[in-house]
Amino acid sequence: MPALQAHDLRKVYGHGESGVAAVRGVSVELMAGDCVAVVGPSGCGKSTLLHLCGGMDRPTAGSVVVDGVTLAGLGDDGLTQLRRERVGFVFQFFNLLPTLTLSENIALPLLLAGVSAGEGADRARSCADAVGLSHRLHHYPSQVSGGELQRSAVARAVIHRPALLIADEPTGNLDTDNGRRVLDILRTLNEDTGVAVLLATHDQAVAARADRILRMRDGLVVVPADATRAALPHA
């Protein structure tokens, strides 16, 4: 079962002639264990594509199936549940809640899903181990470095064992060393747990670490000549 099947996605912001098409017909499919990088300049539509695939936004046309669940039929609560159970997110600006400890931040998806605080803390600890943060669990976000913040965000993104991990410029706000370390963790998780990773970046070095590269411009996928594995052509 593919972790993500997106077919002919289109997204228009606004209405009628004044509408701006951010994504103009993109299809992408990730199997478990896949790691795909979406690259392209600012405004090419890569973030929009990620939002659509992660169930954060609804496409104007096209379909998204995550881990066998068709998003089109889901209401707000359905989408919330989907994100809570099958999708993880990592963003450029970490987006940790400043008022929760790292442990609480990491456990948040579980807590929101109704898991008890104790179990949440236990699982947060094991996740934190995996990203090398066990010594920082009771610190607040303001008390740790950017690399540690992003590692916490990664831990939070996978604590509920999602099928799909959406990472939007995960290294964009980090120095090279910390960026590499976050990427290492992402790849390790990808390979160890089989979580499919859809990663947007404008950094060629980052993209190079993906299995496949999807190059976008003006809302369309541009098939690159030097791709190691060809992206699926679209109609």
Interface residues toward another protein, by CB under 8 A = 51, 54-57, 76-77, 80-81, 83-85, 89, 91-93, 95, 97-100, 104, 108-109, 111-114, 117, 156, 160
Q: In whole angstroms, what is the distance from residue 19 CA to residue 11 CA?
A: 10
Task: Name the residue nearer to another protein (CB basis): 14 or 98.
Answer: 98
Residues contacting 127, CB < 8 A, separation 6+ = 106, 155, 156, 158, 159
Contact present, 101 and 142 (Cβ < 8 Å) = no
Taking the least distance from each CB to another protein, the nearer of 69 and 89 is: 89
Q: Shortest Cβ distance from residue 159 to another protein (Å)?
A: 9
Based on the number of CB atoms within 10 Å of its own CB, is 124 exposed (0-12), middle (13-18) or buried (19 or more)? buried
Q: Which helix (H) or strand (E) holds 26?
A: strand 20-30
Residue 55 vs 147, nearer CB to another protein: 55
Q: How far apart are CA 101 and CA 151, in angstroms?
A: 14
CB nearer to another protein: pick between 57 and 203 = 57
Q: How many CB atoms lie within 10 A of CB 206?
A: 23
**Of residues 13 and 204, the one with the C-beta less far from another protein:** 13
Containing 88, the helix (H) or strand (E) segment is strand 87-91
